[in-house]
Amino acid sequence: MTVTVGVLALQGAFFEHIQLLKKAAEQNFLPDWEFIEVRTPQELERCAGLVLPGGESTTMSLVAARSNLLEPLRDFVKVHRKPVWGTCAGLILLAESANKTKKGGQELIGGLDVRVNRNHFGRQTESFQAPLDLPFLGEGAPAFPAVFIRAPIVERILPHQKGIQTGETELEETVVAPSRQAKGAAAEAATADHVEVLATLSRPASQIATQGRDISPDKELGDIVAVQQGNVFGTSFHPELTGDARIHAWWLRQVQAAVNIRNKLGQ
């Protein structure tokens, strides 16, 4: 049976994701997979997994709301707990809390118990590429060429709460995702109450010092740039803007495992 994986195609780098997903499927010898652009609830309904691309999270959430996709997306991620991967702006949408957001400026989907710091490294002109160690790609895997463009980082891992992240609602310029409960055995199996840090970006102290920042070794020297909580995966950077399909291949294996569990549980 064909497995359908979608890429949210409202704005941003969705085309590039589709290309790399196809390449990754070939590498994984997955002939019966199809990759579709998702713009409607009906297209989302067909998907076993979903990628939220990089771009502009404010625009994406506004267009999603206008296309009546915001609630179906929350159902997909938080109620059905199907596998989802957000890159950059996509990671922001998957966070339970995001700062530097004006009131009414944007809505979140949620799913990851984290607070993201938007535009952590500054403006577009401060974009950069850095070799990143990604241990989840296997021991001794060559560094990944990670592209950071106005990237968010995970600045805080939040304690898991069943409802919304109440502690976060008090903060200024911070938006919090609405709460939804997982439904059904497959969704329960795909839920985790802890966030796993999959990668951090260490930057030389000298580089930070030239930017005139205070150096706090715990925080500044190890920015969290990849996390996973159950079926929800997020990266600060843009693997779709490289020719390197290793993360896409890894993630498709996660989707395959989730599909197997769902089939076994018969839902």
Question: Binding site residues for L-glutamine, as ranges?
Answer: 55-57, 118, 149-150
Distance CA 267, CA 261 (A): 9
Catalytic residue among 80, 88, 107, 155: 88
155 is catalytic: no
* 56 is an interface residue for ligand GLN by CB under 6 A: yes
DSSP 171: S
Residue entry with tokens 């401060």: 126
Of the residues 69, 84, 88, 175, which one makes contact with ligand GLN according to CB under 6 A: 88
Closest distance of CB 13 from ligand GLN, Å: 8
Distance CA 5, CA 7 (A): 7
* 78 is an interface residue for ligand GLN by CB under 6 A: no
Q: How far is CA 66 from the centre of its chain?
A: 22
120 is catalytic: no
47 is catalytic: no
Distance CA 5, CA 226 (A): 21
Strands 175-176 and 153-157, how do they pair? Answer: unpaired
By CB under 6 A, the residues from 159 to 188 that bind ligand GLN are none
- Separate counts of helices (H) and strands (E) for the chain: 10, 13
* 57 is an interface residue for ligand GLN by CB under 6 A: yes
* 239 is an interface residue for ligand GLN by CB under 6 A: no
* 149 is an interface residue for ligand GLN by CB under 6 A: yes
In the bound state with ligand GLN, the residue whose beta carbon lies nearer, of 6 and 54, is 54
Q: Which residues contact 223 (CB under 8 A, 6 or more apart)?
A: 120, 153, 154, 200, 201, 203, 236
* 55 is an interface residue for ligand GLN by CB under 6 A: yes
Distance CA 83, CA 161 (A): 20
Q: Which residues contact 178 (CB under 8 A, 6 or more apart)?
A: 74, 110, 164
Contact between 54 and 150 (Cβ < 8 Å): no
Closest distance of CB 117 from ligand GLN, Å: 10
Written as one letter, the residue type at 144 is F
Of the residues 150, 246, 248, 262, which one makes contact with ligand GLN according to CB under 6 A: 150
Catalytic residue among 17, 80, 120, 238: 238
Closest distance of CB 85 from ligand GLN, Å: 13
Segment contacting ligand GLN by CB under 6 A, of 17-25, 50-58, 78-86, 204-212 = 50-58
Distance CA 114, CA 233 (A): 12
Provide the 10 A C-beta neighbour count for residue 72. 19
* 54 is an interface residue for ligand GLN by CB under 6 A: yes
Segment contacting ligand GLN by CB under 6 A, of 87-95, 132-140, 240-248, 256-264 = 87-95
Closest distance of CB 254 from ligand GLN, Å: 22
Binding site for ligand GLN (CB under 6 A): 54-57, 88-89, 92, 118-119, 149-150
Q: Which residues are catalytic?
A: 88, 238, 240
